[in-house]
Structure 1
Amino acid sequence: MLRVHFTVEDLFNVTFADAPLPMVELAMAMVAWQRTDEAAVFGRWRARVGQELGPRARPLLDLLRPDGDNPQFVEPYARTLEEGLADVRAAAPLLTGEQFARAAARAPGPDSWLRALWGRDREAWNQLGGALTAAHESVVAPYWARIRQSFQADVAWRTRLLAAHGIKVCLASTHPDAAWSGTVLEVDRPPHFEVRLGGRGLVLMPSPFWTGRPLVAEHPDGPHVLLYPALTPLPLTSPGPVEGALDALLGRTRAAVLQRLVQRRTTTELARDLDISLPSVSEHTRTLRAAGLITTERDGKAVLHAVTGLGADLLHSGG
C-alpha cells in the first residue's frame, strides 16, 4: 500500500506541474512498453513500439523496470532533452554507494554494461546517453504534441475538480484504489511505501504513459512529486486536431462512453453500442469512475453504469 502523510500545510501547498518533462516521460514510456496491464488501451501501442525501438535504445530495459521503481537520476526534472542528458551525466559522481548497489542489482549478468556504469566507466555512461537519446527519438519526440495535450487536459480537469469538490477529492481521483484515512492518502496496491511530506508540499504530474498506482518522488528543489496516470493515456489522444473539448480531455472513445451514460447502460450494452471489446469498456469505465464522472453498481449479473452530476456538468460544459 502507498501511504502519503499530509500535514495541514501540505494540503494548502498542492500544485500542478506546469508542463510534461521529456526525461520523465521517456522513462515512463519505456516502463509502459514493458507492462502488460490495460492491454485494451496500450496493446497496439506496445506492439508498435516493439517494432520501432532500435537496438541502441534497448539497454535501457536493464535499467527501467515495469514497476516504475527506477533510479531517479535517469529521469531528471529537466525542461529539455539536452538539459536532461547533461543532468544524467552530472549525476555520476554524486551517486551514493547505496544507490549504486541498488541499481547494480538490476544487472542481468556479471558482464552487464550496468556494472561498468556503476564503476563510472566512461564508455558505459556514453552508452547510457546514446540509449536515452535513441529511445527519446522513437517513443517521445514523435508524440510530444499528444503528450502535451494529455497533460494539459488532465491538469484542466483536476483543476476543475479541485474547485468544485476540494483537494481530497482531487487527489483521490488519481487512482481507482485511492482513498483518504484522515490526512493520509492511501492507495491499496503493492508494494508498501510510506512517505511523510513534512510541510514541503506536493506537485501533481500526470503522465499519459504510466498505468500503475501513483508514484512519489522527492524533488531536489523542495516538494515531493506525485506522478499518476493521466485521465487520457497516449493511445487515446488524437493524432490530429480534436473535434471538441471533451474529446481533448478524454479521448474520443472514452468521451463516447461518458456521453452514452446519460442513460444507465450495462457494460455489454456499451460494448455493443460503441463496437469495442468488453475489456476496453471495463478499462474506460474504471477510469471514469475513479475521476468521479460515473457510478457503477451491480444488479444481479448485470453491471450498470451511469453519469454523475459532475460528469453531467462536464458533458454540458464540453458541448
Structure 2
Amino acid sequence: MLRVHFTAEDLFNVTFASEPMPLVELCMALVAAQRTDEQAVFGRWRSLVARELPGRALPLFDLLRPDGDNPEFVEPCSRSLEEGLADIRGSAPLLTPDMFHRAAARAPGSASWLRALWDLDREAWDQLDSALRVSYEVLVAPHWARIRQSFQADVAWRTRLLAAHGIKACLASTHPAADWSGTAFEVGRPPDYEVHLGGRGLILMPSPFWTGRPLLAGHPSGAHLLLYPALTPLPLSVPGPAAGALDALLGRTRAAVLQSLVQQRTTSELARDLGISLPSASEHTRTLRAAGLITTERDGKAVLHSTTALGVDLLHSGG
C-alpha cells in the first residue's frame, strides 16, 4: 500500500508540475512497454514498441521494471533531454551498494551490466547514455506534442476538480483504489511505501504512459512528486488539433462515451452505439468512473452506466 501522511501545512501546499519532464516520460514509456494491464488501450502501442525499439535500448529493461518502483537517478526531474542526461551522469558517484543489490534482484537477466554501472565503468555509462537517447527518439520525441496535450488537459481538469471539491477529491481521483484515512492519502496497491511529507508539500504530475497506482519520488525542490496516470493515456490522445475541449481532455472516443452516457446505457449498448469493442468500452467506463465522471450500478445481470453531476458539468463547460 502507498500511504502519504499530510500535515495541515502540506494540505495547503499541493501544486501541479508546470510541464512534463522528458526523462520521466521516457522511463514511464519503457515501463509501460513491459506491462500487461489495460491491453484494450495499450496493446497495439506495445506491439509497435516491440517492433520499433532498437536492440541498443534493451539493457534499460534490466534497470526499469514494470511496477515503476525504479532507481530515481535514471528519471531526473529535468526540463530537457540533454539536461537530464547530464544529471544522470552526475549522479554516478552517489549510487550505493544497497541501490545496486535492489536493482540486481529485480533485473530479469544477468546483473553484469548493472554491476559495471555501479562500478563507474565508462563503457557501461556510455551504453546507458546511448540506450536512453535511442529510446527517446523512438518513444518520446515523435509524440511530445501529444504528451504535452495529455498533461495539460489532465492538469486543467484536476485544477477545476480541486477548486470545486477540494484536495481530497482531487487526489482520490488519481486511482480507483485511492482513498483517505484521516489526513493520510492511501492507495491499496503494492509495492508498500509510506512517507510523511513533513510540511514539504506535494507536486502532482500526470503521465500519459503510466497505468499503475500513483508513484512517489523526490523532487529537487525538497517536496515530493506524485506521478499518476493521466486521464487520457497516450494511445487515446488526439494526434492533431482536437475537435473540441472535451476531445483534448478525454480523447475523442472517451468524450463520446461520456456524452453517450447522459442516457443510461449498458457496456454492450455503448460498444454497439459507438462502434467500439467491448473491452474498449469497459476500459473507457472504468477510467471515467475512477475520475468521478460516471457512475455504474447493477440491475440484475445488467451493468448500467450514467454520467454523474460532475460529468454533466464537464459536458456543459466543454461545449
Corresponding residue for residue 45 of structure 1: 45
Q: Aligned partners of 1:218, 1:148: CA distance in 2, in Å?
A: 22
**1:265 partner letter:** R
Determine the structure 2 residue equivalent to 1:66: 66
* Counterpart position of 1:265: 265
What is the alpha-carbon distance in structure 1 between the residues aligned to residue 109 and residue 35 of structure 2? 22
How many Å apart are 1:101 and its aligned residue?
A: 2.5
* SS of aligned partner of 1:310: helix
CA displacement 1:280-307 (0-9 Å, x = unmatched): 1111111111111111111111111110
Q: 1:17 corresponds to which residue?
A: 17
1:192 aligns with 2:192: yes
Tell me if structure 1 keeps the 8 A contact 2:100–2:114. no
* Structure 2 partner of 1:229: 229
Name the counterpart of 2:129.
Answer: 129
CA contact (8 A) 1:107 1:115 kept: no
Per-residue deviation, residues 144-188 of structure 1 (Å, max 9, x unmatched): 000000000000000000011111000000001111111111111
Q: Give 3-state SS (helix, strand or coil) of 2:91's partner.
A: helix
Q: Which amino acid aligns with 1:77?
A: C
Query: Is contact 2:61-2:107 (8 Å) kept?
Result: no
* Whole-angstrom distance in 2 between the partners of 1:182 and 1:266: 36
**Residues 174, 195 of structure 1: CA spacing in aligned structure 2 closer, same or farther, 3 A cutoff?**
same
Q: Deviations over 1:86-132 (max 9, x none)?
A: 00101001122322322233455556311111111110001000000
Superposed, which structure 2 residues align to 1:243-258 within 5 Å?
243-258=243-258
May I ask how many residue pairs the two structures share in their alignment?
Answer: 319
- What's the counterpart of residue 287 of structure 1? 287
Q: Is 227-236 or 109-118 further displaced after alignment? A: 109-118
CA RMSD for the aligned pairs? 1.1
Q: Quickly say closer, same or farther: Cα 1:131–1:267, change in 2 above 3 A.
A: same
Rounded Cα–Cα distance in structure 2 between residues aligned with 1:270 and 1:47: 26
Q: Say which SS state the counterpart of residue 84 (structure 2) adopts.
A: helix
Contact kept in structure 2, 1:104 and 1:118, CA below 8 Å? no
Structure 1 residues 107 and 182: CA distance shift in structure 2, 3 A: closer
Question: By how many angstroms is 1:220 displaced?
Answer: 3.2
- Following superposition, the deviation at residue 211 of structure 1 comes to 0.2
Q: Which runs of 5+ in 2 are unaligned?
A: none
Distance 1:67 1:86 in 2: 26
TM-score, with length taken from structure 2 = 0.98
| Kept after mapping to 2: 8 A contact 1:74/1:88 | yes
Aligned pairs (5 A) from 1:83-102:
83-102=83-102
CA shift, 1:76, in A, is 0.3
Residues 264 and 220 of structure 1, relative CA distance in 2, 3 Å threshold = same
SS of aligned partner of 2:57 = coil
Deviates more, 1:284-293 or 1:242-251: 284-293
Q: What does 1:294-309 align with in structure 2 at a 5 Å threshold? A: 294-309=294-309
Provide the C-alpha distance between the structure 2 equivalents of 1:154 and 1:17, rounded to a whole number of angstroms: 11
> Would the aligned equivalents of 1:117 and 1:125 in 2 still touch at CA under 8 Å?
yes
Hey, what's the Cα distance between the residues in 2 that align with 1:141 and 1:110? 30
Aligned AA for 2:262? Answer: V
Q: Which residue pairs with 1:7 in the alignment? A: 7
Pair 149,110 (structure 1): closer, same or farther in 2 beyond 3 Å: closer
The range that moved more, 159-168 or 183-192, is 183-192
Q: What displacement does 1:3 show?
A: 1.1
Counterparts of 1:306 and 1:211 in 2: how far apart (Å)?
A: 24
SS of match in other structure, 1:217: strand
Q: Which residue of 1 aligns with 2:158?
A: 158
Q: Identify which range, 94-103 or 249-258, moves more after superposition.
A: 94-103
Structure 1 residue 191 displacement after superposition: 2.2
- Equivalent-residue separation in structure 2 for 1:280 and 1:106 (angstroms): 32
One-letter amino acid of the structure 2 residue matched with residue 156 of structure 1: A
Scaled by the length of structure 1, the TM-score of the pair is: 0.98
CA contact (8 A) 1:19 1:151 kept: yes
The one-letter code sitting in structure 2 at the alignment partner of 1:313 is: D
Task: Measure, in 1, the Cα distance between the counterparts of 2:242 and 2:116.
Answer: 47
> Shift of the alpha carbon at 1:8?
0.8
Q: Which residue of 2 aligns with 1:208?
A: 208
CA deviations 1:183-206 (Å, max 9, x no partner) are: 111111122221111111000000
Q: Is the 8 A contact 2:267 2:304 kept in 1?
A: yes
More deviation, 130-139/178-187: 178-187
Distance 1:23 1:115, change over 3 A: same
Q: Does 1:177 align with 2:173?
A: no
Consecutive unaligned residues in structure 1, runs of 5 or more: none
8 Å Cα contact 2:117/2:124 also seen in 1: yes
* Structure 2: distance between partners of 1:217 and 1:158: 20
